Amino acid sequence: MRNVVIVGSGCAGNTAAIYTGRANLKPLVVSGREPGGQLSITTLVENFPGFPEGIEGPALVESMKQQAQRFGAEYVHGSVIEADLSKRPFRLNIEGEWVETSTLIVASGASARWLGLDSERKLIGHGVSSCATCDGFFFRGKKIMVIGGGDSAMEEAIFLTRFGQEVAIVHRRDQFRASRIMLDRAQQNPKIQWITSAVVDQVFDVEKGQVTGVELRDVRSGRTWQRPVDGLFLALGHIPNTAVFKGQIELDADGYILSKGGARTSVEGVFHAGDVEDRTYRQAITAAGAGCRAAIEAERFLEAEGR
């Protein structure tokens, strides 16, 4: 029987582990399908305070893990495949092994949606990114492409015009999902070019280890052509990793956890931290802050019960 189980080992989960570890709660961290979360697939992180020269994403998240382990956090590989939150202690099935816990911190994140191309996957962190705020700065004076037709694509494209010599939006239809106001704003920006009814079939150049261009295909005519690009930003939406908690914790229509104030969820004793609830900021530092908040709330919750 555990005091606290933390689901997810990104910035939010690791920070929650550091705090609950230091509170002597001996947290168990379930690493999840993407150990280290989104930082583990980035390269240089320049906006996390405390690192004037920046730090590699995987190194940052590994340091957080080691820091948590120093205070007694235990990490287990794998994912929660089943959960019973109907009564306490909560029961979690971690890859076939059931664990009971008094409190639960859900820090399982939201996974960026990708195109699913092999070349795209190989160049993540080398010109392919899902976060303009994080990586836009690296593409000063360069050719940037944003894929998607939603509000994120508009917002990221507008933001990226600060850096790029050109920003092309590629969308698979000629109708946009984005809100009118965001679309208008993007359409009024002279630096943004539009390529509609087109998809990216390939990202170059895997051999060189950096993005140099893409192959595009017109979905109506089938015509293909190549275009030089230095930075490729995917704005295809995110998928919160909450499937296993569906029907137990209140979620919004897109599957994000609905906050009940602070780090509280609809289930007493279950707390949220990071991108699994936050669809707005999605930054390493905000996730870390949310992990701290969830840990303090879990600690106080247990304390109020006399533990």
Q: Which stretch binds ligand NDP (CB under 6 A): 5-13, 51-59, 233-241, 262-270?
A: 233-241
Whether residue 228 has a cis bond before it, omega within 30° of 0? no
Residue nearest to ligand NDP (CB): 150
Annotation marks residue 151 as catalytic: no
Nearest one of 9, 5, 19 to 299, comparing CA atoms: 19
Site for ligand NDP (CB under 6 A): which residue of 76, 99, 115, 183? Answer: 115
Both tokens of residue 255? 């599957």
Site for ligand NDP (CB under 6 A): which residue of 36, 37, 57, 149? Answer: 149
Q: Which stretch binds ligand NDP (CB under 6 A): 89-97, 151-159, 205-213, 266-274?
A: 151-159
Q: Which stretch binds ligand NDP (CB under 6 A): 8-16, 50-58, 95-103, 234-242?
A: 234-242
| 202 in contact with ligand NDP (CB under 6 A) | no
Kindly tell me which of 55 and 115 has the beta carbon lying closer to ligand NDP. Answer: 115
Cβ at position 96, least distance to ligand NDP in Å: 33
Q: CA–CA separation, 157 vs 174, rounded Å?
A: 17
In the set 11, 134, 230, 278, the catalytic residue is 134
In the set 11, 84, 131, 292, the catalytic residue is 131
Number of other CB atoms surrounding residue 86 within 10 Å:
9
| 236 in contact with ligand NDP (CB under 6 A) | yes
Q: Name residue, tokens 């168990």.
A: 28
Characterize 39-57 residue by residue with b for buried, 16 or more Cβ atoms within 10 angstroms of its Cβ, and e for exposed.
bbbbbbbeebeeeeeebeb
Number of other CB atoms surrounding residue 137 within 10 Å:
14
Whether residue 205 has a cis bond before it, omega within 30° of 0? yes
Cβ at position 135, least distance to ligand NDP in Å: 16
| 299 in contact with ligand NDP (CB under 6 A) | no
Contacts (CB under 6 A) with ligand NDP, residues 238-297: 279
- Distances in Å between the Cα of 221 and the Cα atoms of 104, 130, 284, 292 are 52, 28, 42, 52
Number of other CB atoms surrounding residue 254 within 10 Å:
12
Site for ligand NDP (CB under 6 A): which residue of 8, 10, 136, 150? Answer: 150
- Distances in Å between the Cα of 171 and the Cα atoms of 174, 177, 197, 200, 275 are 7, 10, 6, 9, 25
- Beta carbons within 8 Å of 56's beta carbon, 6+ residues apart: 43, 44, 45
| 36 in contact with ligand NDP (CB under 6 A) | no
| 109 in contact with ligand NDP (CB under 6 A) | no
Site for ligand NDP (CB under 6 A): which residue of 38, 129, 130, 152? Answer: 152
| 80 in contact with ligand NDP (CB under 6 A) | no
Cβ atoms of 5 and 28 within 8 Å: the answer is yes
| 220 in contact with ligand NDP (CB under 6 A) | no
Query: What residues act catalytically?
Result: 131, 134-135
Instruction: Summarize as ranges the residues that interact with ligand NDP (CB under 6 A).
Output: 113, 115, 147-153, 155, 172-173, 177, 199, 235-237, 279
